[in-house]
Amino acid sequence: MIPVLLIVIPLVTGLISFLIKEERSAKAFALLSSVATLAVSLISLFQNGTQNSFDASWLPMLGSRFSVSLDGMGKILTLLTAVSFPIIFASTYNNKYKSPNAFYGFMLLTQAGLMGVFCAMDLFLFYFFWELALIPAYFLCSKWGGEKRIPVTFKFFVYTFLGSLLMLVGILYVYYKTPDHSFAINSLRNLALTASEENFIFWLFFIAFAIKMPVFPFHTWQPDTYEQAPTAVTMVLSGIMVKMGVFAVIRWLLPMFPAASVRMADIVMILAVIGMIYASLIAIRQDDMKRLVAYSSIAHIGLMAATMFTGSSAGMQGVIFQMFAHGVNIIGLWIVIDVIEQQLGTRKFSQLGGLAQKAPVLAIMFVIMCFANIALPLTNSFVGEFLMFNSVFRHSVIIGAVACISIILAAVYTLWMVQKVFYGEVRNEENISLNVPVNTQIMLGILVAMVIIFGVYPQPMINLTSDTVTKIIAQTK
């Protein structure tokens, strides 16, 4: 029953939230709902077996069932989703939105879609939730975003919609190739496809996932959308939604097309590594904090994309671990950026400087988050990135070596951002007053604690990943 609760709580509260007209109660209601989801998610960590799966008839004519279940990877990703939403709601509690009821309603609906994607064990159900997560996000960005929000969000929408339609064709194709005409994950593991069919269908799926992650050259929607979306939504998009792509590759693509994944590994890895270097180089040239973090996110996701295709179990565990770590880190960065933007009205490096003198606590937390972004030891990212680089190296020394350049570049742009914004000479002195609200400080504190705890003691989470990974590796061999 737990996965059902994870989906239903945000879904129902999201719909109710549309009816709450008063701003303060809408906020409180959304926060309460997300905390309830978090509680359920925490319970799921200590449950095994039947409690974590649910199966019911849904579309008997199509052979699709409402089948949801949580394995190790599912637990980690639903936990990330469940942790993120209360933190996002609490840290942006003071932001003002017009028609807040709709804003929080759409946010909760997005959460429901994301939870569904991470729990679904039926490919058709998965597609359903995959789209369900997209539509509210579209409305959130278009209505509450920045100046150029309408065209930018539309680009985002058309990209992802096209990707999902291609995936739909792929889904239909594999459906008719399953022995018992079903969408269940266990039937899809035994597809009888010829090599050329497999290669072709592989790309139909991969393009959809690559757009979501995004992997070069499908990334062009991402920086614009992150920049224009309201920060709370950017946190959802970058912290959780991009993980949908990575997750989907591990959950569906690799088990369904094991042979094609090996054949296409080099092409995908080269694309991913090009994306890492390219995005890092562009990040160095940015003047806007949001855009810089957006490009840095492309670089980090690129590494995950490359590692998934190495076929190494340690690397795969690193990817799953890093999905969680990256979510935590990037949400932390966005929170700091949001504080700066709300209080000073700008995100431009050219107009910022010396903030550390005004807000030392914020500066310390931001620096820790930035260290995590560069994957310094003792931060959570170090564990994941080490495992990932290690397996990429084992796969191919050249690709590994080129990928490693991105570590250096990451240090360049991240530290440059810290230096420009928090240190250096103080700009626009007269109107500077940075009061970090208490709720934001607490949330940042929690995130920093998570960065350090998982950096020092990653073993419990790594253990969680092992059952998923063993299954997939057994499949590919």
Partner 1 sequence: MNTIILSAIFGVVMMFTGIFIHNRSVYKTVSAVALLVLLVFNIAESHGSAIFNIDTANFLHFDPFGLLFNSICIFSTLIYVMLSGRDLEKAGNNTAEVHALIFFVLCGIGIVTSYTNLLMLFIGIEILSIPLYILTGSDKKNLKGNEAALKYFLMGSFSTGILLMGIAMLYGSGGTFMVERVAKEGMLSYLSALGMVLIFIALSFKVSAAPFHFWTPDVYDGAPAVITSFMATVVKVAGFAAFIRLIEGRLGSMGSQSDRLIGIVIILTLAFGNLTAVFQQSVKRMLAYSSIAQAGFMLFALFAVNDAAKEGLLLYAAAYSLATIGIFSVLAKMDDMTLEGFNGFSKSQPLIAALLAIFLLSLAGIPLTGGFFAKYYMLASVVKTGKYLGLVIVGVLFAAVSAYYYFKVIQAMYFKEGNIVLAPVTNRFKYLLVFVAFLIVLLGVFPNSLLSFLYF
404 forms part of the interface with partner 1 (CB under 8 A): no
Site residue total, partner 1 (CB under 8 A): 27
**Cβ closest to partner 1, residue 220 vs residue 470:** 220
CA separation for the pair 321, 363 (Å, rounded): 27
- Cα separations (Å) of 203 from 2, 111, 123, 130, 221? 34, 28, 17, 18, 20
453 forms part of the interface with partner 1 (CB under 8 A): no
Evaluate the CA torsion angle 232, 235, 237, 240 in order and state its sign: negative
x/- mask, partner 1, residues 71-110, rule CB under 8 A, reads ----------------------------------------
Structure tokens at 374: 């560069």
**Cβ closest to partner 1, residue 57 vs residue 431:** 57
Question: Which of these, 122, 133, 117, 112, lies nearest to 33 by C-alpha position?
Answer: 112
Question: Which residue matches tokens 């039947």?
Answer: 50
φ, ψ for residue 184, nearest 5 deg: -65, 145
Residue 397: how many CB atoms within 10 A of its CB?
A: 10
Cβ of residue 143: shortest distance to partner 1, in angstroms? 6
Question: Which residue matches tokens 């991470």?
Answer: 118
128 forms part of the interface with partner 1 (CB under 8 A): yes
Half-sphere exposure (Cβ direction) of 15: Cα atoms closer than 13 Å: 7
Query: Environment class of residue 474 by beta-carbon count within 10 Å: exposed (0-12), middle (13-18) or buried (19+)?
Result: exposed
Residue 197: how many CB atoms within 10 A of its CB?
A: 16
- Cα separations (Å) of 275 from 262, 271, 304, 402, 409? 20, 6, 12, 11, 13
Please tell me what DSSP assigns to residue 10.
H
203 forms part of the interface with partner 1 (CB under 8 A): no
- 172-191 residues in contact with partner 1 (CB under 8 A) are 172-173, 175-176
- How many residues does this entry show for the chain? 477
143 forms part of the interface with partner 1 (CB under 8 A): yes
3-state secondary structure of 55: strand
Cα first-last separation, the chain: 33
Cβ of residue 247: shortest distance to partner 1, in angstroms? 19
Q: Residue 55: beta bridge partners?
A: 67
**Cβ closest to partner 1, residue 99 vs residue 470:** 99
**Cβ closest to partner 1, residue 39 vs residue 169:** 169
4 forms part of the interface with partner 1 (CB under 8 A): no
Cβ of residue 57: shortest distance to partner 1, in angstroms? 10
**Cβ closest to partner 1, residue 183 vs residue 382:** 183
User: Among 93, 154, 416, 423, which residue interacts with partner 1 (rule: CB under 8 A)?
Assistant: 154
158 forms part of the interface with partner 1 (CB under 8 A): yes
Cβ of residue 173: shortest distance to partner 1, in angstroms? 6
Cβ of residue 204: shortest distance to partner 1, in angstroms? 8
12 forms part of the interface with partner 1 (CB under 8 A): no
User: Among 54, 97, 126, 157, which residue interacts with partner 1 (rule: CB under 8 A)?
Assistant: 157
Are 192 and 141 a contacting pair, CB within 8 Å?
A: no
User: Among 161, 386, 416, 423, which residue interacts with partner 1 (rule: CB under 8 A)?
Assistant: 161
52 forms part of the interface with partner 1 (CB under 8 A): no
Cβ of residue 232: shortest distance to partner 1, in angstroms? 18
Choices 159-167, 182-190, 413-421, 436-444 (CB under 8 A): range interacting with partner 1: 159-167
Choices 39-47, 168-176, 338-346, 367-375 (CB under 8 A): range interacting with partner 1: 168-176
Cβ of residue 255: shortest distance to partner 1, in angstroms? 21
150 forms part of the interface with partner 1 (CB under 8 A): yes
Angle between helices 459-476 and 258-284 (to 10 degrees): 130
Question: Which of these, 165, 167, 133, 132, lies nearest to 252 by C-alpha position?
Answer: 167
Choices 88-96, 167-175, 405-413, 448-456 (CB under 8 A): range interacting with partner 1: 167-175
CA quadruple 67, 212, 144, 126: dihedral, nearest 10: -10
397 forms part of the interface with partner 1 (CB under 8 A): no
3-state secondary structure of 183: coil
Choices 162-170, 296-304, 308-316, 435-443 (CB under 8 A): range interacting with partner 1: 162-170
Q: Contact residues for partner 1 (CB under 8 A)?
A: 59-61, 127-128, 131-132, 135, 139, 142-143, 149-150, 154, 157-158, 161-162, 165-166, 168-169, 172-173, 175-176, 200
